Amino acid sequence: MGRWCPRLRFVERQRTRTLYRAAGSLRRDTTRRATRDGFRPEPEVRPVLRMSTLFLRTLREDPADAEVASHRLLVRGGYIRRAAPGGFTWLPLGWIVYRNVERIIREEMDREGFQEVHFPALLPKDPYEASGRWADYGDNLFRLQDRKGADFLLAPTHEEMFTLLVKDLYSSYKDLPLVIYQIQTKYRDEARPRAGLLRGREFVMKDSYSFDIDDEGLQASYDKHRVAYQRTFDRLGLPYVIVSAMSGAMGGSASEEFLVPLAVGEDTYVRCSACDYAANTEAVQVQPPAPIAFDGLPAAAVMDTPDTPTIQTLVDLFNARPELRHPDREWTAADTLKNLVVKLRNPDGTSTALAIGVPGDRDVDLKRLEAQVGPAEIEPFSEEDFAANPALAKGYIGPGALGLENASGIRYLVDPRVVDGTAWITGADQPGQHVMNLVMGRDFTPDGVIEAAEVLPGDPCPRCGSAMEIARGIEMGHIFQLGRKYAEALGLTVLDENGKTRVVTMGSYGIGVSRAVAAIAEIGCDDKGLIWPREVAPADVHIVATGKPTDPQLPAAEQLAAECEAAGLRVLLDDRVGVSPGVKFNDSELLGVPTIVVVGRGLADGVVELKDRRTGGRRDVPLAEIVGLLRDA
Q: Note the residues at the interface with RNA (CB under 7 A).
A: 57-68, 84-86, 140, 188, 190-196, 198-200, 203, 205, 257, 266-267, 366-367, 370, 475-478, 510-512, 514-515, 528, 546-549, 551, 578, 580-583, 585-587, 589-590, 598, 600-602, 609, 618
Compare residues 392 and 554 and give the one whose CB is closer to RNA. 554
**Least distance from C-beta 318 to RNA, angstroms?**
30
Rounded Cα distance, 67 and 75, in Å: 11
The CB-of-248 to RNA minimum distance in angstroms stands at 8
Closest separation between CB of residue 121 and RNA, Å?
14
> Would the CA dihedral through 444, 448, 453, 457 be positive or negative?
positive
Nearer to RNA, 64 or 290 (CB): 64
Three-class secondary structure of residue 122 per DSSP = strand
Q: Output 147 or 192, the one with its CB closest to RNA.
A: 192
3-state SS, one letter per residue, for 566-630: HCCCCEEEECCCCCCHHHHHHHHHHHCCCEEEEECHHHHHCEEEEEECCCCCEEEEEHHHHHHHH
Alpha-carbon distance of 607 to 599, in angstroms, equals: 8
Query: How near is the Cβ of 437 to RNA at its closest, in Å?
Result: 34
DSSP characters for 125-141? SHHHHHHTHHHHTGGGS
Q: Which residues pair with 556 in a beta bridge?
A: none
Helix (H) or strand (E) holding 82: strand 80-84
Look up residue 249 and give its DSSP letter: G
CB of 557 to RNA, least distance (A): 11
Contacts of 85 (CB under 8 A, 6+ apart): 193, 201
- Backbone phi and psi for residue 594, each to the nearest 5 degrees, phi listed first: -65, -30
Q: Classify the C-alpha dihedral 471-246-467-464 as positive or negative.
A: negative
Which of residues 107 and 267 has its CB atom nearest to RNA in the complex?
A: 267
Q: Considering the complex, what minimum distance in angstroms separates the CB of residue 220 from RNA?
A: 22
Q: Dump the DSSP string for 265-306.
A: -SEEEEEESSSS-EEEGGG----PPPP---TTPPPPEEEE-T
| Cβ atoms 99, 105 nearer than 8 A | no
* Angle at 204 (CA atoms; ends 202, 210), nearest 5 degrees: 125
Q: How far apart are CA 163 and CA 490, in angstroms?
A: 7
Of 343 and 601, the one with the shorter C-beta distance to RNA is 601
User: 3-class DSSP state for residue 340?
Assistant: strand
Beta carbon of residue 239, minimum distance to RNA (angstroms, whole number): 15
We find the least distance from the C-beta atom of residue 603 to RNA, in angstroms, to be 8
320 to 100, 272, 314, 324, 325: CA distances (angstroms): 67, 38, 10, 8, 7
For RNA, the closer of residues 237 and 512 by Cβ is 512
Instruction: Give me the least distance between CB of 586 and RNA, in Å please.
Output: 4
Q: How far is the CB of 528 from RNA (least distance, A)?
A: 6
Q: What is the DSSP annotation of 176-206?
A: -SEEEEEEEEEE---SS-BTGGGB-SEEEEE
Contacts of 443 (CB under 8 A, 6+ apart): 300, 399
Element containing residue 9 per DSSP (H, E): helix 6-22
Minimum distance, C-beta of residue 140 to RNA, in the bound complex (Å): 5
- Which CB atom, from 46 or from 188, has the smaller least distance to RNA? 188
Nearer to RNA, 173 or 258 (CB): 258
Nearer to RNA, 565 or 609 (CB): 609
* Helix, strand, coil percentages for the chain (3-state, nearest 5): 30, 30, 40
Q: How far is the CB of 71 from RNA (least distance, A)?
A: 7
The DSSP annotation for 475-523 comes to: EEEEEEEEETHHHHHHT-EEE-TTS-EEE-EEEEEEEEHHHHHHHHHHH
User: Which residues face 512 on adjacent strands?
Assistant: 205
Burial class (CB in 10 A: 0-12, 13-18, 19+), 581: middle
**Residue 359 CB, nearest approach to RNA (Å):** 20
Comparing CB distances to RNA, the nearer of 84 and 135 is 84
The nearer residue to RNA, 370 or 451, going by C-beta atoms, is 370
Q: Which is nearer to RNA, 92 or 547 (CB)?
A: 547
* Comparison of 132 and 547: residue with beta carbon closer to RNA: 547
